[in-house]
Amino acid sequence: MNSQITHMTLNGCTNVAVRNVKLVAPGNSPNTDGFHVQFSTGVTFTGSTVQTGDDCVAIGAGTRNFLISKLACGPGHGVSIGSLAKELNEDGVENVTLSSSVFTGTQNGVRIKSWARPSNGFVKNVFFQDLIMENVQNPIIIDQNYCPSHQGCPTEHSGVKISQVTYKNIQGTSATQQAMKLVWSQSNPCTGITLQDIKLTYKKGAPATS
């Protein structure tokens, strides 16, 4: 499948399983998310390949009990929760697991992003585990000052509360020396962030940093 915009969207769905699909778009094509989920519960996305110019998997507000496994992502912007804080009254994201997946040449690996504005939204109980990063620009990133255009950006603090996020057994190479970026809200800093068995090296041989 080669879509001009988002390839597959689940909105308001319950107990859906998507397996063994291949979603392909040019790496320089904007807004071509591979698999987008929002306001849905009990979704499983397994054994699939996503090559795109935007997020391989985009996880929007109102997503609960979402399992992703055996994903091959790249090129693309990785797997993203958000962007959140688009609105003040916004559903949260909880119980998301991504495992046994490979990211190749992507802009990001696993990312949580929210705008710097008030919101009742939240992200909690998220597990990123058993992942391989191959020449990924930002293998691990939390960005609560998200503003991709860098113009007219909100200047408040993100109200999205991020908690209980686990990164476990993530290995590979970073295309940039800063392999992990954590930009937290000053008024709602993240809590319960766990890093275990993280082994990321800078592709050019220098030590990776965070």
Catalytic site residues? 77
- The DSSP string of 88-119 is SS---EEEEEEEEEEEES-SEEEEEEE-SS--
Burial of 152 (0-12, 13-18, 19+ CB in 10 A): exposed
Question: How many whole angstroms separate alpha carbon 87 and alpha carbon 153?
Answer: 14
Question: How many whole angstroms separate alpha carbon 97 and alpha carbon 194?
Answer: 14
Number of H helices, E strands in the chain: 0, 17
What lies within 8 Å, CB to CB, of 37 at 6+ separation is 9, 10, 13, 43, 45, 57, 58, 59, 60, 63, 66
Angle at CA 24, nearest 5°, toward 106 and 141? 25
